[in-house]
Amino acid sequence: MAELPDFALAADAPEAGRPRFSICTLVTRTAEYAGMIESFVAKGFGPGDCEYLYLDNESGNRFDAFAGYNLFLARARGDFVILCHQDILLHADDRAALEARLSELTSLDPHWAVCGNAGGVGLGRRAVRISDPHGADQKRGPFPIPASALDENFMIVRGEANLAMSRDLEGFHFYGADLCIVADFLGWSSWVIDFHLFHKSFGPVDERFFRLRQAAARKYRRAMRPRWIVTTVTDFFVSGSRAASRVLTSPAARLPRRAAILLRKLRRR
């Protein structure tokens, strides 16, 4: 990778204590990434208590988003891990504004795990706080608001949530949704907050996008399938249908299995 400012290589900094923020980026264009870092530092994210981590994709996509960001999430030391695109710039809100938004969110929901500046908040509904090629100073709230999926241009992951993304997905789409789904399954929440930045581009919706959408849908259908949970002590049925779960975990539903267990025990005698 071409030369970057010294603080961009701060995997071992700050020297004392835990970083407040880890800013993590997959890099394909060094000059653009350097500009991103400069905007962060100018807005208060200095190397004194922030670490800047990157993975080098300049000569080719050695790391896709799922693999690369999982590596960041495993190794970043910050209280908050920022996963962001190289083509964003902090031009409006600064670190003080972000700290205030995170404090507000923690007061509202102590169990939040991931937040961002844009995301899906309901069927056909999106919350957005951004400037991008679609328009300047976009603000569609209210904020903060729970999200089912976050846009990947800028996401903040709470370090203590110990999140990771799916091993069995790949590519550069839907990892924001995956992160929110994993958080929800682990008992955490995801939100869109009022943090205004500039994103130079928007992701392409092409054939690859729809192919990855199909792969994600297959994965989640498999992961969320109705099933029996069988332990060494008991069993119960889980399903998206409350009625089915209630019926199949009732004492009456367990009678056939108990009878089968008793019959096997009798046969062994």
Report the DSSP pairing between strands 50-56 and 21-27: parallel
Rounded distance between C-alpha atoms, residue 84 and residue 116, angstroms: 10
pLDDT digits (tens, 9 = 90+) for 244-254: 545 455 555 55
Tell me which fold the domain 6-223 belongs to: Spore Coat Polysaccharide Biosynthesis Protein SpsA; Chain A (3.90.550)
Report domain extents, the chain: 6-223, 227-268
Q: Which of 161, 75, 146 is nearest to 116 (CA)?
A: 146
Is the pLDDT confidence value at 268 over 90?
no
In terms of pLDDT, which residue wins out, 154 or 211? 154
The predicted model gives 146-174 an average pLDDT of 92
Query: 28, exposed or middle or buried, with CB in 10 Å at 0-12, 13-18, 19+?
Result: middle
pLDDT of residue 191: 98
Report the DSSP pairing between strands 88-89 and 235-238: unpaired
